[in-house]
Amino acid sequence: MELKNARAIVTGGASGLGAATAEYFRAQGAQVMVLDRDAKGADFAAGIGAGFHETDVTDEASVAAAIAAARDHMGGLDACINCAGIVIGEKTVGREGAHKLDTFRRVIEVNLIGTFNVLRLAAEAMAQNEGPERGVIVNTASIAAFDGQAGQAAYAASKAAIAGMTLPVARDLARSGIRICSIAPGTFGTPMLRSLPQDVQDALAAEVTFPKRLGEPEEFARLAAFIVESGYMNGETVRLDGALRMR
């Protein structure tokens, strides 16, 4: 699939890695629909020449409406890039007691169930395309899936599950001509992280094996684009982390 011909939705597409991906895809000629729960994302989408639909990835009706709107806007759907997610740090047992169950449930609901909710409905739409390759899905895991730090039980569990379902979903979707891969990014210089004090950013960068810097959001976008265009990549979770292994 050539990126310039792709019709893509990007969840969490109004900020961070999602925004970088939406912008890069548009720059390469792809049609893009930004899906985000923040209505302010409409201004960003308009600025890059993309469509926008306010979307709650955890809500079935909301996602179904967004995909229908994307298909109407772009004339179909070929690619789905799932970047929507949240991070909440909380220890299993902390100073205030046990990890709040509602907090754990919320992280799983957004990061894991939200991702699956979008990919299953996107795949259903892609299956209606013609040709041997009908679509491609790229999910966002994290290196926390493999070496999560203290206070990341919920986040690491959600991202490990995204990595874990990549191969079985690839096998499920093979008969429909749809590929799926996941990207496990390390420490990236998103606007939220760049807002931290410089000494904190420097300390994070120093942990990276090489190159000793934060990842650039466009590097994530480029890998997502590579997956879309690489027809033999399927069922794999790719670390993008400068060989960082979290302590």
Q: How many helices (H) and strands (E) does the chain have?
A: 10, 9
Q: How many CB atoms lie within 10 A of CB 237?
A: 20
Count how many Cα atoms sit within 13 Å of the Cα of residue 218 in the half-sphere of its side chain.
Answer: 5
- Specify the amino acid at residue 210: F
Question: How far is the C-alpha of 232 from the C-alpha of 181, rounded, in Å?
Answer: 11
**Is 155 an annotated catalytic residue?**
yes
Q: Which residues pair with 93 in a beta bridge?
A: 98
Q: Check 24, 104, 155, 220 and give the catalytic one.
A: 155
Q: In terms of Cα–Cα distance, which of 58, 19, 27 is closest to 192?
A: 19
Residue 178 three-state SS: strand
8 A C-beta contact, residue 67 and residue 77? yes
The token pair at 181 is 């891969």
- Specify the amino acid at residue 185: P
Question: Any idea which residues carry the catalytic annotation?
Answer: 155
